[in-house]
Amino acid sequence: MKKILKNLDKPLLIISCILFIFGLIMIFSASNITAFMKYSASPYRYFFKQTIFLTVSLFASIFLIRFHSKSYHIISNLAVYVIGAALALLLVYGSVKNKAISWINLGFFSIQPSEFAKIIIIVWPSVKRLLPPPTRIRATITIPPTIIINTLFLISFDIGDIKKMRATINV
């Protein structure tokens, strides 16, 4: 763990922590009235939810940082299939919010698979380029999963996510 901390980009880590804290403050200031007036809930409702998500993300990042980035290809291959299945699952079990079928309700919370798809569409082709030349996969092989994911977005009427995905891919 000391070796990992020694090699971390400390300015990036500090800026990220500052942005997390600033984001929590912004979420609280933007949602405390809505939580109290509209939902008769605690003004801290969304603040606590976001804090939980940040905490889970912190543990996930500590877990992932232990692996060398070249070993991400195993995880990324599985992730492409999982996110494809989750997007296809939207067509059957998805709930409509804002005129798009983009959320899967798990009872205690809902997830939006398209948010994970954006991360995977960045990581998956990047990891393929890290492989040694004999096993390196050409960039054209990454196009079909991207087309399939965009098609699933289109079928679920999620035009906003298609635009975000195209912007993500074009960067």
Predicted pLDDT at 80:
82
- CA separation for the pair 20, 51 (Å, rounded): 9
Read off the pLDDT of residues 81-93 as tens digits, 9 standing for 90 and up.
888 888 888 888 8
CA-based R_g, the chain, Å: 19
pLDDT higher than 70, residue 33? yes
> Which two three-digit tokens encode residue 33?
């009235």
Is this prediction's pTM over 0.75? no
Read off the pLDDT of residues 104-163 as tens digits, 9 standing for 90 and up.
888 877 888 877 887 887 777 777 666 666 655 555 555 667 677 767 766 666 667 667
Nearest to 129 by CA among 139, 117, 120: 139
Read off the pLDDT of residues 40-84 as tens digits, 9 standing for 90 and up.
888 888 899 899 989 998 888 878 777 776 677 778 878 888 888
- CA separation for the pair 79, 149 (Å, rounded): 12
